[in-house]
Amino acid sequence: RSTGKMTTIIGSTIRQNTRSMHTDTFFMRKIQLVYECKVKYFRINVIRAIWPFATISAQLVILYYGRYSGLKFNGLILSKIQLKMTVKTFIDRPILAGVISVLIVILGIIGLVQLPIEQFPNIAPPTVRVQASYTGANAETVMKSVIVPLEESLNGVEDMMYMTSTATNTGTASITIYFKQGTDADMAVVNVQNRVASAQGLLPAEVTKSGVTVRKRQNSTLKSITLYSPDDTYDAKFLTNYMKINIEPQISRITGVGEVNIFSAEYAMRIWLDPTKMSQYGLIPSDIDKVLAEQNVESPTGTLGAESMNTFQYVLKYRGRYEDASEYENLVVRALPDGSVLRLKDIATVELGAVNYAMISETSGHPGANAMIAQTAGSN
């Protein structure tokens, strides 16, 4: 009996210890489960707090890189991003909604100051325009003597697609070269300038003397402006000269302006030859050109006493080209057999007129000067 009682007591003690161990294990598991739930709940809250900022960042990335077919992120191409956010999230979290609103306002202010206005791709191809003037020549002469040599030299320039040319009866030649999209406009101008320089020897002397201009510009017009006198105090020539001297240089210095074309005639010294008197003295227009080339020139005059032992050296000055109509009138054409002198005013009328009279510029019935502005390729 005593042995059996001792066995019963030991057995009940072992069962109590076993229950205590099971109870401790259950509480430990419960504590661990509660801890894991809290960690998971904390992670969920963190994700819910960060998710709006992540979605906004994704939207900004899509808006900025929208011109690409997909987004490269960690080696993956995401063609579409599903952004799911309910309104209840912002209702339940007013502070979060306020922070996001402030963030959007800040980003908007930064974008307003930093981002350019134009976000569209450059559709128009880069263009370079070559202009030359052959005074007194008609359109056919300009085409044969100016445009054809230039086109033969410009044909095949690097990255060129095609070119167009125009010749007018006022002696103006214009060639527009269109280049492939993405071509550097500055390098295109350099290449065209090199081709034009190689064709200088084939052009008439009058064309090379006046110069051949090469400029980068778009073919479309950016803006047109006009300058006129409401009370007709100034004529078109004065207004054109004022625009040429004071307005055109300032507009040309603006970034993005390729060229300013003034469609009015500026001042020029006009010599109107009398055919009857020219025939009487046996003169032709080339004789008058020779007189102007000999007597209306700019030349270096040098100095006196440069190599002597004198204390002073004298620098000679020459008045240069004439500027007044009366000075041109007194140019000597030839000496007559009776000892008198034939002057230019005896066979021609000299006046300060316009370069050409092919265009009449008016604004609201008043004399004016018009100009058109063209922009450069790739400018905003």
CA-to-CA distance for 214 and 149, rounded, in angstroms? 15
With a CB cutoff of 8 Å and minimum separation 6, the contacts of 315 are: 301, 303, 304
Going 329 to 330 to 333 to 336, the CA torsion angle's sign is positive
Per-residue confidence (pLDDT) for residue 98, from 0 to 100: 82
Question: Mean pLDDT, to the nearest integer, of 264-289?
Answer: 88
The first and second tokens of residue 44, run together, are 């969920």
Question: Mean pLDDT, to the nearest integer, of 210-223?
Answer: 83
Question: Mean pLDDT, to the nearest integer, of 70-80?
Answer: 42
Question: Mean pLDDT, to the nearest integer, of 27-37?
Answer: 51
Per-residue confidence (pLDDT) for residue 211, from 0 to 100: 85
CA-to-CA distance for 78 and 70, rounded, in angstroms? 5
The first and second tokens of residue 55, run together, are 């979605």
Per-residue confidence (pLDDT) for residue 57, from 0 to 100: 58
Contact 131, 174 (CB under 8 A): yes
Helix (H, G, I), strand (E, B) or coil at 135: coil
Check whether 283 has a pLDDT greater than 80. yes
End-to-end CA distance of the chain: 111
Lowest-confidence segment of 25-29, 354-358, 364-368 by average pLDDT: 25-29
pTM comes to 0.56
Residue with the bigger pLDDT between 360 and 167: it is: 167
Residue with the bigger pLDDT between 290 and 30: it is: 290
